[in-house]
Amino acid sequence: MTFEDFLARQLDGLLRYATTLTCDPHQAQDIVQEVVLRAQQRWSRISRTDQPAAYVTRMVTNEFLSWRRRRSTRELPLNPADLTDYETDQTGRVDDRTVLLASIATLPRKQRAAVVGRYYLNRTDDEIATELGCTAATVRSHISRAIATLRTRLDSPRQVTL
């Protein structure tokens, strides 16, 4: 498979994944652009792996984690204080998704990556642990803490399920 074929098949999914991780479509585009440039330079090696898509997805995860480390301040697309003024209307599913993504944006980066890996990519603890460079027990701890934080922040009459 050529790099162009790979990119045609995988670019949209990589952008969606990065957007879910960053909660910012502009930052997601920057991250994917960096990863695509590096992947193109290393494509002869990447294409020989069993799962080039998984390899490039891990590159996106690593770039996200590095990107967050390089920033001196944490910028969030939505002020967490805005969540307290949230009132539901009849478009509950859209509201739930917006509030949930805004809450996920406030999580520490490894917790966020673990939650997105589990609930967005349907990955196992071992797969997430490999991506994050930690143990499966640490992944379970990240997810448990993240869910506890999200439940606290989303405590309302309606339940938002993960």
DSSP state letters, 22-38: HS-HHHHHHHHHHHHHH
Q: How far apart are CA 25 and CA 19, in angstroms?
A: 5
Model pTM greater than 0.85? no
* More confidently predicted of 68 and 61: 61
pLDDT value at position 71?
53
Closest CA to 74 of 110, 101, 106: 106
| Domains contained in the chain, CATH given | 3-70 (1.10.1740), 89-153 (1.10.10.10)
pLDDT value at position 88?
47
Q: How far apart are CA 151 and CA 146, in angstroms?
A: 9
**pLDDT interval class at 72 (50, 70, 90):** very low
pLDDT higher than threshold 90 for residue 79: no
Q: How far apart are CA 15 and CA 30, in angstroms?
A: 10
Angle subtended at Cα 18 by Cα 15 and Cα 21, rounded to the nearest 5 degrees: 150
Tokens of 52: 């080039």
Encode pLDDT of 55-65 as tens digits: 999 999 999 98
| Angle subtended by helix axes 3-22 and 52-70, to nearest 10 | 40
In this structure, is the dihedral angle defined by the CA atoms of residues 78, 79, 80 and 81, taken in order, positive or negative?
A: negative
Q: How far apart are CA 111 and CA 142, in angstroms?
A: 5
Tokens of 145: 């803490």
Encode pLDDT of 106-161 as tens digits: 899 999 999 999 988 889 999 999 989 999 999 999 999 999 998 888 775 554 45
Residue for token pair 């910028």: 75
Give the distance from CA 20 to its chain's centroid.
Answer: 4
Residues 6+ apart with CB under 8 A from 94: none
pLDDT higher than threshold 60 for residue 78: no
Encode pLDDT of 2-34 as tens digits: 999 999 999 999 999 999 888 889 999 999 999
Tokens of 24: 């910012």
pLDDT value at position 152?
86
pLDDT value at position 86?
46
